[in-house]
Amino acid sequence: MAKRLLLIGTVALLATVVASVAVAQKNVDLEFWVGASVSEAGPPPDNWRAYQIVRDRLGINWKIVLLPSTLGDQDTKINAAAAANNLPDLFQVNRDAWYKLAKAGLLAPVDSLLTAMPVRTMTHYDDVVARKMVTLNKVMYGLPEPGQMPMTDGFVVRKDWLDKLGLKEPKNLDEFMTVAKAFTERDPDGNGKADTYGFGAYLESSGLQQAGLGLRFEWVFGAFGVAGTWNTQDAKSFGLNARKSEFLKALQFIKGMVDAKIMDPDWNILKKDEYRARWKQGRWGMMHENFAALSTVANYKDFDKNFPNGLWVAPPPPVGPEGKSAENVLLKNVRVQAISQRAAKAGKLGAIAKLLEWMAHDEGYILLGFGYEGEHFKRDKNGNITVEGIPAEKQWTAKAQQPFTQLRNLVFINTDVELKARYVPFKTNNGRLQDPLAYWNAFRSYPYTDSTGAAIINPPANAADFVRYYSENVMKFVVGQQPLDEKSWTDWVAGLDKLGAKELEAAAKAALTEAGFLD
């Protein structure tokens, strides 16, 4: 009897071992190269619950590699891997690099995957424009994850300075200059020193879509009706805004700002962090800023400490001579997740779809987006994310917990629940309630120049030279290194044509017309 029991036990044990080995052998290995949400925090820990769930329930051995911190380094790593035919199964890639890889045939078509992940397709990939951004020859070669929130940047003014000087929010460009001069010359901070300026900015262009001075000056171009590199209003007027006479007028207005010395003189050499350090130190009273960089508790605290009674308000952007205005251009922004042809050939598409779909359901979404429920966050009766009752160092927003949510960019889709959890209202030093989303809502209520179609304009081979020529000469115009008049401006446009502007416009127009963006 004992021998029989021993035999049965041994057989059962062996069966379990064989079964578990078989399950392990069935598991698919997937390697994802993803951008870190917080570059310094490192990947999720080895004992992360998501690994275990994915392994045991989805049959996937999931390996996560965090890409380098900058886009340039990411491109280098991906291009090197592509050249060695060593691309991972799924990877995040910027659109210019994606375009080259897709043309080289290194990416797998993903159209068929969409039906295999219905929830994710509905919540992540239902945007027609976003899909067009990852489509080449009518085939989707990438998954367009919802990127940064739209309309996040706008024109803001120091209300405490306006009140001190008895001024009102500027409604048009003339009033802007009046207020800017007062902020520069009338000591709005009352420290007895001539150390303030009307306006602060830095150069933040983004390639072909927003060449030249970049988004911190788009409100000026918007006031003249020429925000953004491209005019995508209709087929008839489609082309580079630089060809329009209003563009020259906008440049002349900005040159007037420089000549009047109402701008921080370092504006064209400031880096982003220096720019943000300066407004926190009270250097200027008007600027164009990102709502989160301006108003979240982490970003506001230095300004709050220095100026407890300081207050930035978000009025409508000043209107131009013909009554036009725009906070910025409205560009489509997606994070492209591409799947390698190598992964497709290895038969991994099904497993990739299964994993991505799991992330779009509540379990995966919550786990990747906010960490462990009950340990890092709680949900209130309305389903909102809250950290009430969670020790500070354990909260999902705490520094130590960032590895648990490093992949939140793969699940966040900018829902109300997410935004409320991410941008929490707080009290400033003087007891005022500051709500970051109030700034965002204000920005969103003002006009933007729609340029979403520009997102699908593919870069020409000489894109870098084109953008460099464009941007360098715009800078020379406004700082007075070359004259800014009808002739010099016409010569500059002719220079753009020599670099293939007309061919680029024709190709862009054809692409936008085919995609249904132009009538």
Partner 1 sequence: MARRFGARYEVGFQVAVDAFLALVLAVVAVPLLRVIVTSVAPLSPEGIPGFAFLVTPWRWTFEAYRQLLGHRSFLNAAYISVVVTIGGTALNLVLTMLLAYALSVRTLPGRPFFSFLILVPFLFNPGLIPTYLVVTRLGLIDKLWAIILPTAINITNTFIMRNFFAALPEELKEAARMDGAGDWHIVLRIIPPLARPIILTIGLYYAVGHWNEFFAPILYLNNAKLQPLPVLLRNILLAANLNEYVEYDAYSAAPVQALKAASVIITTLPMALIYPWIQRYFTKGTLAGGIKG
Footprint of partner 1 (CB under 8 A): 33, 36-43, 65-66, 68-70, 73, 76-77, 80-81, 83-84, 86, 148, 152, 272-274, 276-278, 280-282, 290, 292-293, 296-299, 301-302, 306-307, 397-400, 402, 422-423, 436
Reading phi first (left if > 0) and then psi (alpha if -120 to 50, else beta), residue 468 is in alpha
- What are the DSSP E strand ranges found in 186-238? 197-200, 230-231
What is the C-alpha separation between 59 and 52, in angstroms, rounded?
Answer: 10
Residues 6+ apart with CB under 8 A from 322: 224, 225
Name which of 168 and 271 has its Cβ closer to partner 1: 271
Provide the β-strand partners of residue 379: 385
Name which of 315 and 436 has its Cβ closer to partner 1: 436
In the complex, the smallest distance separating the C-beta of residue 61 from partner 1, rounded to whole angstroms, is 15
Name which of 67 and 330 has its Cβ closer to partner 1: 67
Q: Is 311 helix (H, G, I), strand (E, B) or coil?
A: coil
| Number of C-beta neighbours around residue 510 at 10 A | 11
Q: Are 223 and 215 in contact (CB under 8 A)?
A: no
In the complex, the smallest distance separating the C-beta of residue 494 from partner 1, rounded to whole angstroms, is 37
Name which of 96 and 302 has its Cβ closer to partner 1: 302
Element (H, E) at 239: strand 239-240
In the complex, the smallest distance separating the C-beta of residue 396 from partner 1, rounded to whole angstroms, is 9
Reading phi first (left if > 0) and then psi (alpha if -120 to 50, else beta), residue 41 is in alpha
In the complex, the smallest distance separating the C-beta of residue 68 from partner 1, rounded to whole angstroms, is 4
- Sheet containing strand 153-158, edge to edge, reads 197-200, 284-290, 153-158, 312-313
DSSP H stretches of helix in 84-110 = 95-103
Tokens 């020379």 found at: 476
Tokens at 337, concatenated = 């997740």
| Number of C-beta neighbours around residue 103 at 10 A | 13
Name which of 308 and 495 has its Cβ closer to partner 1: 308
User: Which amino acid does the sequence have at 362?
Assistant: D
DSSP H stretches of helix in 313-415 = 341-345, 349-360, 362-370
Residues 6+ apart with CB under 8 A from 276: 293, 299
Name which of 70 and 112 has its Cβ closer to partner 1: 70
In the complex, the smallest distance separating the C-beta of residue 483 from partner 1, rounded to whole angstroms, is 33
In the complex, the smallest distance separating the C-beta of residue 368 from partner 1, rounded to whole angstroms, is 16
In the complex, the smallest distance separating the C-beta of residue 271 from partner 1, rounded to whole angstroms, is 8
In the complex, the smallest distance separating the C-beta of residue 63 from partner 1, rounded to whole angstroms, is 8
Name the DSSP class of 217. G
Name which of 120 and 280 has its Cβ closer to partner 1: 280
In the complex, the smallest distance separating the C-beta of residue 308 from partner 1, rounded to whole angstroms, is 11
In the complex, the smallest distance separating the C-beta of residue 433 from partner 1, rounded to whole angstroms, is 17
DSSP output for 391-450: -GGGSTTSGGGGGGGTTGGGT----HHHHHHHS--EE-TTS-EE-HHHHHHHHHTS--EE
In the complex, the smallest distance separating the C-beta of residue 438 from partner 1, rounded to whole angstroms, is 15
Name which of 152 and 328 has its Cβ closer to partner 1: 152
Q: Is 9 helix (H, G, I), strand (E, B) or coil?
A: helix
User: Which amino acid does the sequence have at 112?
Assistant: S
Strand-pair category, 153-158 with 449-450: unpaired
In the complex, the smallest distance separating the C-beta of residue 371 from partner 1, rounded to whole angstroms, is 13
- Of the candidates 131, 101, 58, the one whose C-alpha atom is nearest the C-alpha of residue 350 is 58
Name which of 304 and 505 has its Cβ closer to partner 1: 304
Name which of 295 and 451 has its Cβ closer to partner 1: 295
Name which of 158 and 354 has its Cβ closer to partner 1: 158
Strand-pair category, 197-200 with 284-290: parallel
Name which of 296 and 471 has its Cβ closer to partner 1: 296
Q: Are 327 and 447 in contact (CB under 8 A)?
A: yes
